[in-house]
Amino acid sequence: MKNFTYYVPTKIHFGENQVQHLPEEVASVGKRVLLVYGGGSIKKLGLYDKVYNLLADCTIVECNGIEPNPRIASVRKGVELCKTHNIDVVLAVGGGSVLDASKAIAAGACSDEDAWELILDAKKIKAALPIISVLTLSATGSEMDQTAVITNPETKSKKGFANDLLFPKVSICDPTYTYTVNAFQSASGVADIMSHIMETFFHHEAGCDISDQVAIDLLKTCVKYGPVLLDEPNHYEARANIMWASTWAINGFLVSGPGKNWSCHAMQHILSAYYDVTHGATLALLEPAWLSYILNDTNKDRIARFAREVFNVEEENTYKCAQKGIQKLYEFFTVTMKLPKNFAELGIPNDANFKELAEECVKSRPGGKIGGYETLEANDVFEIYKRCF
Amino acid sequence: MKNFTYYVPTKIHFGENQVQHLPEEVASVGKRVLLVYGGGSIKKLGLYDKVYNLLADCTIVECNGIEPNPRIASVRKGVELCKTHNIDVVLAVGGGSVLDASKAIAAGACSDEDAWELILDAKKIKAALPIISVLTLSATGSEMDQTAVITNPETKSKKGFANDLLFPKVSICDPTYTYTVNAFQSASGVADIMSHIMETFFHHEAGCDISDQVAIDLLKTCVKYGPVLLDEPNHYEARANIMWASTWAINGFLVSGPGKNWSCHAMQHILSAYYDVTHGATLALLEPAWLSYILNDTNKDRIARFAREVFNVEEENTYKCAQKGIQKLYEFFTVTMKLPKNFAELGIPNDANFKELAEECVKSRPGGKIGGYETLEANDVFEIYKRCF
């Protein structure tokens, strides 16, 4: 078990109608609110009106139209609004994209630097406005972490950044707000959650019993309740368990001990910088392709454990067991959860320049390679992409 | 799943030599330190000297001699020292007792009321000094929660209280500081941890998959590593896993969803107010006695699940399976972990007035009963005590 620092100060109000806490939580930090949201879904949900009713005493300035892969232009617009209107608190109402944009806005609002500079070097973030969120989508876990991902179309880059000042002060997680999330987005969310867990579960560190076992539990929770989201979108327990799993997949608990060994997200980010593909659905293809590519004598025990404990694979031969588990994972995503079966279905043409994408994927990383669970060079990334064709 | 609020802002530095973070953490809140500790064990550990070396720039005032069941007189002494010396931060170096006393001191230092009044009505706590802890014993979980228990010998009461202002700001959890904890105290700690988990795991709320499964994992971690503490006291992974399990057993995560349904701690507190018995060792007798007493047709499935998943009991009949699991639990504590087999061995005479103790146990509680997993009246508590003779 590696040494670690665990620090997650976000307060979570979880459950139906917990939005009732919004007035007291906002009042504790100010009266001038930047309301950040995406398209019209929060209006259809009735959440937009509810927020206005609950915050009748506040001045609300709107920053809407945040994109699914939020862009730096939206962040800059939000920063400008904060400075012009002397905003006290950023209120993110939406999913991970709205939350990520809000984090960048909260940092940019307290700095003279351009927001993209802060994203490129998050140590430059010395202050941030408090962030409060009302979550409407279970996927990224951004409601309880200090990280965000912003896309810059000019430089074709999708950049993750982190700073402890960016933990939401409060997140309101009401599973009923996710009832209207459609089957594809629900399934992509589950794939995103599971990928966060798998990126951590596959490590080489001994003695991380608690993290390992909780990772398995969260994966089993996804496998149990994920399909329910498609069949019974208004199933409270299913939405609630997926929402809570989503939060714990990536809030710092699972990496406490194993450390961070991520691989697939790097391969995903470069794809979505070039193609407007859904994050989770892309990971649903990359995760099994990656596992099948890296499977070897050293890691076969761990992948077989995943197969046995998450998918109940019964197979004595460790190598075969691991292979069967990977196949089960692919089938879970593409058959059970009805996600795209290959890059073409996802929206990435088969004649895309995967060699160049693979090279670009690794070039900005330390030593020009992905140093995750198993080290990946450009050629490895290319081979993994090929398995997703 | 019940609605809940999860809020645990304590920063944990976990692992060997993480005490190196002490200077920066203390510096972030001040220079005048009240060092709270118990007997001489931190001197034997070398931790006392280390703290003085690391905090050479600070003014340190000592409050030592905190008892295993910390008493209000020690708290009052600490409060007085804080006020006299204008203390900025309370540094608790020790186990749960030292931490609990430090919480009460931190609250008392910021109030004109007598500390016992704050403990009797924790809503009166409106401010508290920041608390930093260096943990030397895995048991109570006080390093990452907002609760404490203080004993008042004058009124023969042992009173728990909670306030969000009492979360330690930082806790340093170095498993190597627990190497010298003797077999009895190590075993009592494991029993305390397991009792915290069981107090929550036994509930009637549906759909709490994540909490339930993590509870099982933490129990399995205790069953796996607990015996190692007795055989190889310097086993890092064992000490580390027990320490991390201890923190998560009671920091608010497990009750998120099921809510709080505790039973055995109430029965324990009254015993240790009258007899100077070790908290965990007493719980090790009460938990199996309580489970065997309450076992019925409604709760047999859950107790059987505990038996199957924690102790690998293979028995088709649910009722018998539950019974076997309870027996395994008793044997784990008293045979494997070598804890006392009954009240007499523990230090409570068989001619103690258990009827009166049982009545006193329930009388201060809402409705004059313990409203935990299964409602317990005075007579039930008496019957459970009898099973521990």
* A35 CA: distance to closest CA in chain B (Å): 23
Nearest to B2, CA basis, from B258, B315, B177: B258
Q: Compare CB distances from B237 to A1, A9, A248 and report the shortest one's residue.
A: A1
pLDDT reading at A116 higher than 90 = yes
Q: What is the pLDDT of residues A196-237, one digit of tens each?
A: 999 999 999 999 999 999 999 999 999 999 999 999 999 999
* A286 CA: distance to closest CA in chain B (Å): 26
What domains are there in chain B, each with its CATH number? 11-177 (3.40.50.1970), 182-387 (1.20.1090.10)
Task: Spell out the residues 6+ positions from residue A94 whose beta carbon is closer than 8 angstroms to its own.
Answer: A36, A37, A38, A41, A42, A66, A134, A135, A136, A137
CB contact under 8 A, A244 and B237: no
Q: Compare CB distances from A6 to B12, B245, B257 and report the shortest one's residue.
A: B12
CA distances to B17, B195, B202, B262 from B305, in Å = 39, 16, 10, 19
List residues in chain B touching A: CB distance below 8 A.
Answer: 1-18, 21, 206-207, 209-210, 213-214, 217-218, 220-221, 224-225, 236-237, 240-241, 244-245, 248, 256-257
What's the confidence (pLDDT) of residue B53? 98
List residues in chain A touching B: CB distance below 8 A.
Answer: 1-18, 21, 206-207, 209-210, 213-214, 217-218, 220-221, 224-225, 236-237, 240-241, 244-245, 248, 256-257
Which chain A residues touch B7 with a CB distance below 8 Å?
10-12
Q: How far apart are CA A27 and CA A88, in angstroms?
A: 10
Helix (H) or strand (E) holding B174: none
What's the confidence (pLDDT) of residue B40? 85
pLDDT-above-90 percentage for chain A? 93
Which chain A residues touch B164 with a CB distance below 8 Å?
none
Residue with tokens 């043409």, as numbered in its chain: A349
Burial B35-60 (b: 16+ CB within 10 A, else e): bbbbeebbeebebbebbeebbeebeb
Q: Compare CB distances from A217 to B5, B206, B213 and report the shortest one's residue.
A: B213
CB contact under 8 A, B15 and A1: yes
Which chain A residues touch B214 with a CB distance below 8 Å?
214, 217
pLDDT reading at A276 higher than 90 = no
What are A118's strand-pairing partners? Answer: none
CB contact under 8 A, B221 and A206: no
pLDDT-above-90 percentage for chain B? 93
Q: What is the pLDDT of residues B11-64, one digit of tens each?
A: 999 999 999 999 999 999 999 999 999 998 999 999 999 999 999 999 999 999
Q: A311-318: long-range contacts at Cβ-Cβ below 8 A with a sequence spacing of 24 or more?
A: A311/A223
Q: Compare CB distances from B3 to A4, A11, A15 and report the shortest one's residue.
A: A15
Helix (H) or strand (E) holding B265: helix B264-274
What's the confidence (pLDDT) of residue B169? 98
Q: Compare CB distances from A4 to B14, B225, B256 and report the shortest one's residue.
A: B14
Q: How far apart are CA A182 and CA A233, in angstroms?
A: 8
Torsion sign, CA atoms A151, A157, A160, A163: negative
Task: Spell out the residues 6+ positions from residue B234 whose beta carbon is closer than 8 angstroms to its own.
Answer: B176, B179
- Residue A315, SS3 per DSSP: coil
CB contact under 8 A, B213 and A206: no
What are A157's strand-pairing partners? Answer: A152
**pLDDT category of residue B116 using cuts at 50, 70 and 90:** very high
pLDDT-above-70 percentage for chain A? 100
Which residue of A lies nearest to B246 if distances are taken between CA atoms? A210
Q: What is the pLDDT of residues B180-234, one digit of tens each?
A: 999 999 999 999 999 999 999 999 999 999 999 999 999 999 999 999 999 999 9
CB contact under 8 A, A14 and B209: no
pLDDT, average across residues B330-334: 98
pLDDT, average across residues A275-292: 95
What's the confidence (pLDDT) of residue A156? 82
pLDDT reading at A364 higher than 90 = no
ipTM reported for the complex, 2 dp: 0.96
Which chain A residues touch B17 with a CB distance below 8 Å?
3
Q: What is the pLDDT of residues B294-313, one digit of tens each?
A: 999 999 999 999 999 999 99
* A21 CA: distance to closest CA in chain B (Å): 10
Q: Concatenated DSSP letters for B296-361?
A: -TTTHHHHHHHHHHHH----SSHHHHHHHHHHHHHHIIIIIS---SSHHHHT--TTS-HHHHHHHH
Which chain A residues touch B215 with a CB distance below 8 Å?
none
The torsion of the CA quartet A211, A215, A218, A219, rounded to 10 degrees, works out to: -170
Task: Spell out the residues 6+ positions from residue A205 whose beta carbon is closer than 8 angstroms to its own.
Answer: A1, A2, A257, A258, A259
Which chain A residues touch B217 with a CB distance below 8 Å?
209-210, 213-214, 217
Q: Concatenated DSSP letters for A346-358?
A: HT--TTS-HHHHH
Angle at A132 between CA A127 and CA A133, to 5 degrees: 130
Residue B255 has which token pair?
């009750």
CB contact under 8 A, B244 and A237: no
Which chain B residues touch A21 with a CB distance below 8 Å?
5
CB contact under 8 A, A11 and B7: yes
Residue A193 has which token pair?
């959650």
Residue with tokens 């002060």, as numbered in its chain: A169
* B3 CA: distance to closest CA in chain A (Å): 4
Q: How far apart are CA B105 and CA B77, in angstroms?
A: 8
Q: Compare CB distances from B241 to A12, A209, A221 and report the shortest one's residue.
A: A209
Average pLDDT of chain B, as a whole number: 96
CB contact under 8 A, A1 and B7: no
* B347 CA: distance to closest CA in chain A (Å): 35
CB contact under 8 A, A11 and B6: yes
CA distances to A128, A166, B192, B275 from B268, in Å = 47, 42, 11, 10
Which chain B residues touch A241 with a CB distance below 8 Å?
1, 207, 209-210
Contact between B111 and B125 (Cβ < 8 Å): yes
Which residue of A lies nearest to B208 if distances are taken between CA atoms? A241
Give the number of beta-carbon pairs within 8 Å between A and B.
104
Cα A348 from chain centroid (whole Å): 21
Q: How far apart are CA A286 and CA B154, in angstroms?
A: 66
Burial A19-44 (b: 16+ CB within 10 A, else e): bebbeebbeebeebbbbbbbeebbee
Nearest to B166, CA basis, from B225, B106, B213: B106
CB burial of residue A225 (10 Å; 0-12, 13-18, 19+): buried
CB contact under 8 A, B244 and A256: yes
**pLDDT category of residue B269 using cuts at 50, 70 and 90:** confident
Which chain B residues touch A213 with a CB distance below 8 Å?
217, 220-221
CB contact under 8 A, B257 and A244: yes
- Residue A92, SS3 per DSSP: strand
CB contact under 8 A, B206 and A237: yes
CB contact under 8 A, B1 and A213: no
What's the confidence (pLDDT) of residue B381? 97
Nearest to A240, CA basis, from B162, B47, B207: B207
pLDDT reading at A362 higher than 90 = yes
Which chain A residues touch B15 with a CB distance below 8 Å?
1-4
Q: What is the pLDDT of residues B71-109, one digit of tens each?
A: 999 999 999 999 999 999 999 999 999 999 999 999 999
CA distances to A151, A279, A364, B125 from A119, in Å = 10, 20, 15, 40
Contact between B82 and B129 (Cβ < 8 Å): yes
Nearest to A89, CA basis, from A109, A72, A70: A109
Contact between B132 and B90 (Cβ < 8 Å): yes
CB burial of residue A317 (10 Å; 0-12, 13-18, 19+): exposed
Q: How far apart are CA B187 and CA B166, in angstroms?
A: 27
Task: Spell out the residues 6+ positions from residue A80 whose beta carbon is closer than 8 angstroms to its own.
Answer: none
**pLDDT category of residue B372 using cuts at 50, 70 and 90:** confident
Among B14, B24, B25, the residue to mutate for chain A (most A Cβ within 10 A)? B14
Contact between B15 and B236 (Cβ < 8 Å): no
Q: Compare CB distances from B5 to A11, A210, A221 and report the shortest one's residue.
A: A11
Contact between B379 and B292 (Cβ < 8 Å): no
pLDDT reading at A61 higher than 90 = yes
- Residue A222, SS3 per DSSP: helix
CB contact under 8 A, A1 and B16: no
**pLDDT category of residue B276 using cuts at 50, 70 and 90:** confident
Average pLDDT of chain A, as a whole number: 96
CB contact under 8 A, B237 and A207: yes
**pLDDT category of residue A340 using cuts at 50, 70 and 90:** very high
Q: How far apart are CA B205 and CA B194, in angstroms?
A: 20
pLDDT reading at A258 higher than 90 = yes
Which residue of A lies nearest to B1 if distances are taken between CA atoms? A237
